[in-house]
Amino acid sequence: MKSILITGCNRGIGLELVKQLVFHKNAPPFILATVRQPEKAKELNDLAQKNRNVHILKIDLKDLNAYKEFSNDVSNILGGEGLNVLINNAGISAKFTRLNLVKAEQLQEHFLVNTIAPLMLTKALMPLIKKAAASNSSVPPSVSRGVIVNMSSILGSIASNTTGGLYPYRTSKSALNAATRSIGVEVKDDGIIAISLHPGWVKTDMGGSNAPLTVEQSVSDIIKTLFSLEAKHNGQFIQHDGKDLPW
Ligand code: NDP
């Protein structure tokens, strides 16, 4: 893997992915990390200062009109080469909502950030991902070619939903899962893998302090799983440690 782009890197799982990839034995020469406010991303800035392969890109993913210019910036950083891996990590989660409390505005915001943004960003970056996959056509589908990871959640699994509620989060992640499957079908012949990935219930601002997994453990598993991806994973829903999940 020469290049990876991860969204939502100023805290939580996104920041930890950058931290661990920098020290990985196969650290990619290009780690592109997006944030909304670079000036406030202190830890990420420190990492970028010490590691020249870390590039910080500013984008608010709600601003869909910015994606074209963003993909040009990515292409410039990569110096004409393609992008191997896209991790659509940024996401939002409202507090617990029951049917009598759910608001249309909440649903719209969750669909924008959790579903529309990852799908449209994948669309905008697809020429670069296809370029990377095509220029490494001698190797089987893997991170050395092209991979799209949509950070989903077990809460987006319709089959596993026994507790209800959480309409904005659940429905936006279920829709993201549907998008993953469609992307997988469309990119299969290009040697690209698209998956939905549940990171586990993780101690971050979103996961809260009762979560059983530390962010270090979840991300260590995610990176192992990422490097082990092969053609059979395309279009699948898996968790941090590679285990299959029901849709
Ligand atoms: P955090 O709440 O800790 O971090 C969320 C990240 O997303 C932040 O970097 C945030 O940036 C970014 N983000 C949110 N909205 C936007 C936006 N409009 N534009 C750009 N960036 C944005 O979450 P986690 O790290 O815990 O979660 C990462 C992913 O994993 C999410 O997709 C989440 O749904 C998923 N997940 C997490 C679980 C958990 O237990 N933690 C469980 C299952 C799934 P900013 O700081 O600027 O707000």
Domain borders along the chain are 3-239
Query: ipTM of the assembly?
Result: 0.99
Task: Please write the tens of the pLDDT for every residue from 55-68.
Answer: 999 999 999 999 99
Handedness of CA 44, 50, 54, 56 (dihedral sign): positive
Ligand 1 near 88 CB (within 6 A): no
Q: What is the Cα–Cα distance from 68 to 111, expressed in whole angstroms?
A: 20
Q: What is the pLDDT of residue 105?
A: 95
Q: What is the pLDDT of residue 180?
A: 98
On whether the CB atoms of residues 192 and 136 are closer than 8 A, the answer is: no
Handedness of CA 102, 211, 42, 44 (dihedral sign): negative
Please report which confidence band the pLDDT of residue 118 belongs to, taking 50, 70 and 90 as the band edges.
very high
Q: How far is the CA of 138 from the centre of ligand 1 (A)?
A: 35
Q: What is the pLDDT of residue 36?
A: 98
Pair type for strands 85-88 and 146-151? parallel
On whether the CB atoms of residues 135 and 82 are closer than 8 A, the answer is: yes
Query: 44, 34, 37, 42: which is closest to 6 by C-alpha?
Result: 34
Percentage of the chain beyond pLDDT 70 is 100
Please report which confidence band the pLDDT of residue 193 belongs to, taking 50, 70 and 90 as the band edges.
very high
Q: Please enumerate in sequence order all residues whose Cβ is within 8 A of that of 127, keeping only pairs 6 or more positions apart, or say none.
A: 71
Residue 207 has pLDDT above 80, yes or no: yes
Q: What is the pLDDT of residue 55?
A: 98
Residue 112 has pLDDT above 90, yes or no: yes
- Looking at per-residue pLDDT, the higher value among 150 and 95 belongs to 150
- What is the amino acid identity at position 90? A
Residue 183 has pLDDT above 90, yes or no: yes
What is the chain's mean pLDDT, rounded?
97
What's the pTM value of the predicted model, to 2 decimals? 0.98
Q: What is the pLDDT of residue 95?
A: 77
Backbone angles phi, psi at 35, to 5 degrees: -145, 160
* Residues constituting the chain: 247
- What is the amino acid identity at position 141? P
> Mean pLDDT throughout 217-236?
98
Q: What is the pLDDT of residue 96?
A: 72
Q: What is the Cα–Cα distance from 56 to 15, expressed in whole angstroms?
A: 11
Q: How far is the CA of 134 from the centre of ligand 1 (A)?
A: 31
Q: What is the pLDDT of residue 165?
A: 95
Ligand 1 near 116 CB (within 6 A): no
CATH of 3-239, one of 3.40.50.2300, 2.40.160.40, 3.30.420.40, 3.40.50.720: 3.40.50.720
Residue 180: burial class (beta carbons within 10 Å; 0-12, 13-18, 19+): buried
Please report which confidence band the pLDDT of residue 97 belongs to, taking 50, 70 and 90 as the band edges.
confident
Beta bridge partners of 87: 6, 149
Query: 47, 20, 21: which is closest to 35 by C-alpha?
Result: 47
Q: What is the pLDDT of residue 153?
A: 98
Ligand 1 near 90 CB (within 6 A): yes
On whether the CB atoms of residues 215 and 136 are closer than 8 A, the answer is: no
Q: What is the Cα–Cα distance from 22 to 14, expressed in whole angstroms?
A: 13
Q: What is the pLDDT of residue 205?
A: 97
Task: Please write the tens of the pLDDT for every residue from 125-138.
Answer: 999 999 999 999 99
Residue 220 has pLDDT above 90, yes or no: yes
**Which of 196, 206, 209 for a ligand 1 pocket mutation test, highest count of atoms within 8 Å of Cβ?**
206
Residue 166 has pLDDT above 80, yes or no: yes
